[in-house]
Structure 1
């Protein structure tokens, strides 16, 4: 977005809104005076009455009065309609006061830009003294302003404005109409929330109640929020002053935009402006504490907030709220004996008038009490801003504000006993009277009290008058003041921000403590503190070229200085750390602004740089259209920028939104406020450390590769292309998220981002998906085409909307970052349609080298991508080699997972093995199998080791020899010469954690006394040297090693792989290389599961171990020469031979009806068997067998229970 595209207001002009009033009454929004269009008129206000006009006599001239102001050297009369006077030479405009009469004629008019000079003469004792007069029309408003040289009729009792033709008065209005009543009060609600926290807007009310703002009469636990107070003033048409911080304005627009019959939050405020009951108050854009930063930062913040407020609400504010009312000076000369100058950089008194701010709101006691009677300080004072003029100081009536919260009667008494020259100002955080953010507990009747007080003012019949602060300035004058430094009492009073609470003898201790604290995200050695971070970032921004990305950097810097250094007691608030830790992110936008400016010599390159100045290098990949910054953490791109001939914009990165969950640059998992592009969320490695390699960096082509374990992803750019080519190679199906912020600076103003989607798509297949900014056309999108990825879902955070895709094996897609044309009527985006039509799949599929045993006549082949069903089911695509004679291929069937093919074979016998070749299989785009990866070995298991398991979530363990214990769940163990395999069918790892403890030396007392996650302990006889710990979610398995203490190896840092059970498949599988354990000759295993994130063990193996809280494991499965007959890994053995003998099962098992209530199971006896174990299952394919009984008989009677069951009989030997 080009900044010049914004409809900025020049602060030297005012805007007006004329609303329809009742007959004879002009209801004018009490807004602001414009500036005289010609030299010689002084526009410093010293007296002003701009309240709505009273009744007037209507006549042909149709004259209405909007307001009157006396300035230092001018009189300004704001009028409604002047027709027909302005064009009627026979009609004059006259002001009469006693013997004085001013006659203004439309004749001899001289036109100057924006105005008309008029002939005006004062008919007094001197006989027609000329008076300079100018008529100024206000563009877009139904009012004009008549400017007269001199403060005319200011002291007159009742000056009257008339239109006169041929001596006959056509219309007459008293200029005193609408002046202040006897008791004046102003209400100011200050909303300073950031970009994320919007609960305060509607409080506890359901979204369906958002438009029922009139329910302010039904206060209670379910009725609170800012809306209650807006509704109150709306319904009563009672003027109110609102300070809405810049980020809160954006958040309201993002989360509550309205539409159709629903009025958006900001639209509601805008309507209040047009109807005259809402006036806006300016401040610093994101509420940083102003005196402790540079003057340029303060000017930016006040200017930006004033502009945004004027643009959004149609109101140019001239009153400002000082953040936390912290007013301290670099040199403290206020004379009260307390020096609050430490750490102060800027005197903020000169940051207001240049931006159209005439007065600021401060505190009675703390700022106005030294040489003034603060208890009765209900006037508006002035201080001098050298070289600029006088700045009004509007004191908050502290006792009145407090009474409004807890003693409404006392507050009303203060109103009705105030004098006409006094202004009672209620002003504090909006959430107090709204009873949100904890204030409902501190002031449980605040909202009810405010409602009652407002009703009294509105129903007073004019004896009490609510005014806006812009309207009030110039009246209620108290003259110059010796302004005191400090802040309000709860923050330190005259001792400054945090007084000397944390640094005795030195004031402003909240700032000094924060500024000197190490920044939590900084990695420099030595570590930078927050003061160094913000100062280095500001210096960097000051050297940037001027463009949209450097301007965006200012938003990031200033927003993350929010409530600079706020403390909870003696500690820096946690949310302050989360803001301030991201000040440094503005440096990324700053560097990108230099790329936009053409300061990069190469059109295409990849390089490493500490671009965010946090002490750790990032990798930058750019061409002349796209600039992407990658972090090793998660292998993600938190920032992607785009530029073209007429734009520059951020496409990924929302660095002024609050980090809800992290002080680093990690993704926000729950809030989605920060979701970097290329975030691998399942298996969840989005915050794991990736390795980064620059493959190529040249002017014609650049590519980088990021990898973690078996996962790798490459990103490449060529000059001229507004897209990144993305190539993934993953060991299992992977889900990837991308958050879009198309034209972030425009989003901060308009909050406008539209979904784009292939209109001809049928989910999950789509050609493209993303977000487009409707104001500027800037687009972030994923172009999937035929590259192999599928759409999964879309999501939203604060100023972020994004898309998740999924893919298996190797797949390609394009990340588009540029502008696109307006979508067609059907929603199609032509640029993306064109890109999606290109062939993105030139990668041949690969076959896993190990085929899995599924059944005595079936083998499973696993490909790394979806295969073409025609070639995959054709028997001609396969050949067999190495098998014994008689083995043949009967059929090939694609499974529910389109990457898996089941082959049915004949002639297989236990121990048969050979190779399956699949060279004729292709993918969906005709790419034949990679010749180097077109074969898979297969072994027909005989129940003895070695047995190779395919880790894919399919249970291909052998029940009789690898099933370790019998229960409602199933634990399996086996191995081959390279790997140890463990299977557990029975746990969704989203609901619990899984642990495998491994003792390799068998030495008593050797090993860890407690497990790596400190959830279980171990007895003295056996303790583990290794532990597999699985959180769940995919690729979460740690291999932790004990060597006096635990060292933790994350997924990708070790050679073990896993399939982690979830709600749709509770089979968990592990493949652990023997080499990771030091190739042991003996082994003992114990296992357990626990609840999520606590010490409660829910299952343990062997079963003799306990369950419950903080257990101690003493029993182990032992595999060594004494139990297996040979050293590990033992071959030709049954892994469960320590508990079940290796005897054949009974060859024949029959079942018959024994009686009306029983069935009888019979089986053949087995030579050598001492007993038989009978198991039942309702789902034998899931491996969930339950022991029914062990018997020495060859039969068993079972009751009929009204359910289906399968039975299994096992022989038990000596």
Structure 2
């Protein structure tokens, strides 16, 4: 044999099969562990960093033997060792030892050996002749040849079957003897052969070898580009009690598995969580949101944006799209400290005009599909580059790679994964570092929940593990990083996507989602007289939304909740299901969409806060837009809606814009109509009457106005069989109702009181942690207090005839059930910002707020007595009547019975004969109160009508008259 002279040095690596994770060393008689090196654990594939790959080889060129098919070659210079790595298409699960030898030829300096050892080929290398050659025969046998065919020391090696990798170390002390110089370029060739047979089965770099020479070598300082790979998981569940089971089903499946994989292997992931899912987890699993926030802060999670309730955007008005995009962004900022730059488009249903919605809300890019959105509108043939998809705005599209489509997720080293390896290798060989392969699908799919294959989480974990070891030539990235790295669009192409969605949905809808939406558009929900489209348009028209609501005002808070309700109940707009013969509007969807009209109740309540009545009112109005009237009871403090079905209170809100009953954004399950379900139970629900073993929850009650005057209003509800009669009374200045029940026959009546959500808005943001339980079954009252705003919902049944039954938690609501002990019983419902003490607070010159939250051992009445500053009693009024011992929770506005200015008011506990038992609290109007009220009246003066100014002037004049006598 002769050696050819060359400049530089060449390395050829030959490998014979080995066992995964086993390693061996051959240095004549010495043995050394490759993992013992302190500077670089080359046997661990995850230790190899990005930038160490010097070549990605062609595939399917090893005669069909994947274990001899070279995939990639890597090199790294350490402080004591030279590290070489060869990746194969696949080793795991194959008995490759008898059939694989691997040779790595290494060239350090001009001159060297041109023939290959072990007679594996009778040709010669030409240029970059080798000084050392690694020959690996199996996991326990290898040789380090020098150019004179001598076995030299300094070699260690290890197979890693899972990664499909062979790692070899050559000591620098040995390399120095053959011309190596620190930091200089090393030239490498790799060949695989069949054990004991001549003939090269695969080589890198490639060459035809037809002339008997192997030309070319891999330079250690020439690194390949990397394939960019992004995982995008779309999590979408409605607000319901079941989302914790999607996070973790207790059987090794759930969203957490995906986060575990990325955290374990240190690779980033892109997550989109719908707004309804985030809100649901605020209630059900806030710790999971905290985990995502932590991973986001560590750079492992990228948060994607979208519309809050995942409505299908092209069919809804721009104002709703804008609100929903901003609301979702607000939640991402609040819970993850992240401002999304890339958006998930619901069901990837895109129409060209959506560019405006995304651009105007600050998004730079969206995720669409390569197979459809790109290929249907672009002839460039490469959806692995971003495209600009707007002629007016800088909005770009990432395209999902169609190779990911399927119900299963490919496990590492499966045939599906092998196809991906080839695909990713082809991207690297194309030489364009900007190409990105995007995976995008339901988070539930990879998590193995919600009817997706349960083997997917393990497959996903194995894939992420493999990719963690493929960092030298595959970079798993965040989409925002990609936007920052390159000038957009990376394709240089602008396309207009008129209309499209992903392939499966496009097929199901007959080519256009319009076909599905038209079914929804003309659908009339059960119990309504209007179509679904008319209902949502009615709400938007009533809201008159432009860009935002002033949520510092009561009206603005309620309108924000109205939009929240609308967006939640347009979830997956017009989705269909296969009924065996055709695609029809899905049942679960109709149950949700039918209740979008409840947003109108919040609009009506918002209007009430803008002009509350001076005296209690009771009237009929269609506040939920279903074509049938509901009974409204309100005063200047609180607003109730009573539904004839069940004679139930289905909504309650106070003048400060706080909702106490009305968790309408929570998913409706099991009904399209105005009925209770598991998470929506109206107050005064007559659940069970033991006399006839009957549930009256959904019976049609006769509801009538029984009393309406200047001091109070009363509604009367009678069951269809007249067995149950209930009356609800609302007084002037009161924050609650006195409810009286009468049963015709003996038997126990179970009455459910819910769904209580004291300050729903705060609960939606803060979850269960803000709720404090008030009272207990044994105390004769029970309720819940919002510790942020003091908003409290309390039921007090201390009067004879009623007792506690049980209490439980709904989704964003609480509920208590009481039972009758006699034919007649009564209880109080209070919805107010209760304090922990009993006191008066200044309201107007003629009224004061009274907060009572305490127990009384004796007495039967609480009486407010009004005095002048000189101590002359002018009048008194009974504010509470009951039996003791009793706990009283009361919040109301008390007016001077004679319409006079208040100077001094004292609350007494008295017995039935009117004897004073104790003084409870008192209140004195001071100059500070009068000054503050004067400033308030001056502010009202500016916008007041002429008749209103007359009333304001009277109060100002009487303040002036009272000022000289008021204490300072």
TM-score tier, shorter chain, comes to 0.5 to 0.7
SS across alignment from 1:230:
helix
Residues 200 and 226 in structure 1, CA contact (< 8 A), matched pair in contact too? no
Residue among 756, 759, 764 paired with 1:743: 759
Aligned-pair CA distance for 1:815: 0.8
Residue among 498, 505, 517 paired with 2:509: 498
Cα 1:328–1:758 shift into 2, 3 Å: closer
Is 1:473–2:480 an aligned residue pair? no
Q: Cα deviations across residues 715-751 of structure 1 (Å, max 9, x unaligned)? A: 1112222111111222432211122112222222222
* Structure 2 partner of 1:609: 621
* Structure 1 partner of 2:368: 362
Aligned-pair CA distance for 1:200: 6.8
Residues 390 and 494 in structure 2, CA contact (< 8 A), matched pair in contact too? no
Residue among 530, 534, 541 paired with 2:532: 530
Residue among 629, 635, 645 paired with 1:623: 635
SS across alignment from 2:669:
coil
Residue among 568, 585, 597 paired with 2:598: 585
Is 1:705–2:690 an aligned residue pair? no
Residues 582 and 655 in structure 1, CA contact (< 8 A), matched pair in contact too? yes
* Structure 2 partner of 1:809: 823
Separation in 2, partners of 1:836, 1:748: 35
Residue among 686, 703, 707 paired with 2:697: 686
Is 1:833–2:853 an aligned residue pair? yes
Cα 1:404–1:758 shift into 2, 3 Å: closer
Separation in 1, partners of 2:539, 2:619: 21
Determine which structure has greater relative contact order: mean sequence separation of CA pairs < 8 Å that are 6+ residues apart, divided by chain length: 2
Separation in 2, partners of 1:532, 1:348: 22
* Structure 2 partner of 1:449: 459
Residue among 351, 354, 359 paired with 1:353: 359
Separation in 2, partners of 1:810, 1:659: 34
Cα 1:446–1:418 shift into 2, 3 Å: farther
TM-score normalised by length of structure 1:
0.47
Residues 282 and 764 in structure 2, CA contact (< 8 A), matched pair in contact too? no
* Structure 2 partner of 1:184: 228
Residue among 272, 276, 289 paired with 1:247: 276
Q: Cα deviations across residues 1129-1166 of structure 1 (Å, max 9, x unaligned)? A: xxxxxxxxxxxxxxxxxxxxxxxxxxxxxxxxxxxxxx
Aligned-pair CA distance for 1:469: 1.0
SS across alignment from 2:819:
strand
* Structure 1 partner of 2:346: 323
| Greater helix fraction, Structure 1 or Structure 2 | 2
Q: Cα deviations across residues 506-559 of structure 1 (Å, max 9, x unaligned)? A: 86100001111222231x3xxx22122222222122279951111100011111
* Structure 2 partner of 1:78: none
Aligned-pair CA distance for 1:492: 4.4
The unaligned stretches of length 5 or more in structure 1 are 1-22, 24-178, 207-221, 258-263, 330-346, 501-505, 825-829, 843-865, 869-924, 928-1214
Separation in 2, partners of 1:540, 1:449: 50
Aligned-pair CA distance for 1:836: 7.4
TM-score normalised by length of structure 2:
0.59
Q: Cα deviations across residues 660-705 of structure 1 (Å, max 9, x unaligned)? A: 121112111xxx3101111111222111111111112234211111
SS across alignment from 2:347:
helix
Give the aligned length.
602
Separation in 2, partners of 1:395, 1:223: 31
Residues 729 and 739 in structure 2, CA contact (< 8 A), matched pair in contact too? yes
Residue among 324, 331, 334 paired with 1:311: 334
Cα 1:559–1:274 shift into 2, 3 Å: same
Cα 1:831–1:449 shift into 2, 3 Å: same
* Structure 2 partner of 1:193: 237
Is 1:291–2:314 an aligned residue pair? yes
Aligned-pair CA distance for 1:198: 3.3
Separation in 2, partners of 1:418, 1:836: 80
Cα 1:381–1:200 shift into 2, 3 Å: farther
SS across alignment from 1:223:
coil
Aligned-pair CA distance for 1:197: 6.0
Aligned-residue RMSD, C-alpha:
3.0
* Structure 1 partner of 2:667: 658
Cα 1:277–1:839 shift into 2, 3 Å: farther
Cα 1:703–1:839 shift into 2, 3 Å: farther
1:74-473, aligned counterparts within 5 Å? 182-196=226-240, 198-199=242-243, 201-202=245-246, 205-206=249-250, 222-257=251-286, 264-329=287-352, 347-370=353-376, 372-373=378-379, 376-384=382-390, 386=392, 389-400=393-404, 402=406, 405-406=409-410, 407-419=416-428, 420-440=433-453, 445-473=455-483
Aligned-pair CA distance for 1:562: 0.6
Separation in 2, partners of 1:635, 1:507: 41
Residue among 778, 788, 797 paired with 1:775: 788
* Structure 2 partner of 1:571: 584
SS across alignment from 1:194:
coil
Cα 1:308–1:499 shift into 2, 3 Å: same
* Structure 1 partner of 2:875: none
Aligned-pair CA distance for 1:449: 2.7
Residues 701 and 717 in structure 1, CA contact (< 8 A), matched pair in contact too? yes
Cα 1:294–1:758 shift into 2, 3 Å: closer
Which sits farther off after the overlay, 538-547 or 464-473? 538-547
Cα 1:757–1:428 shift into 2, 3 Å: closer
* Structure 1 partner of 2:74: none
SS across alignment from 2:779:
coil
Aligned-pair CA distance for 1:349: 1.1
Residue among 534, 539, 542 paired with 1:540: 542
SS across alignment from 1:634:
coil
Aligned-pair CA distance for 1:631: 0.5
Aligned-pair CA distance for 1:317: 0.8
Separation in 2, partners of 1:534, 1:663: 16
Aligned-pair CA distance for 1:835: 8.1
Q: Cα deviations across residues 139-182 of structure 1 (Å, max 9, x unaligned)? A: xxxxxxxxxxxxxxxxxxxxxxxxxxxxxxxxxxxxxxxx9961
The unaligned stretches of length 5 or more in structure 2 are 1-38, 40-222, 411-415, 690-694, 839-849, 863-881, 885-910, 914-968
Separation in 2, partners of 1:674, 1:266: 25
Separation in 2, partners of 1:284, 1:836: 52
Separation in 2, partners of 1:691, 1:616: 14
Aligned-pair CA distance for 1:786: 3.6
Separation in 2, partners of 1:283, 1:835: 50
Separation in 1, partners of 2:285, 2:334: 18
Aligned-pair CA distance for 1:352: 1.5
Cα 1:744–1:682 shift into 2, 3 Å: same
Cα 1:193–1:485 shift into 2, 3 Å: farther
Separation in 2, partners of 1:204, 1:627: 40
1:1123-1142, aligned counterparts within 5 Å? none
Residues 812 and 841 in structure 1, CA contact (< 8 A), matched pair in contact too? no
1:795-806, aligned counterparts within 5 Å? 795-806=808-819
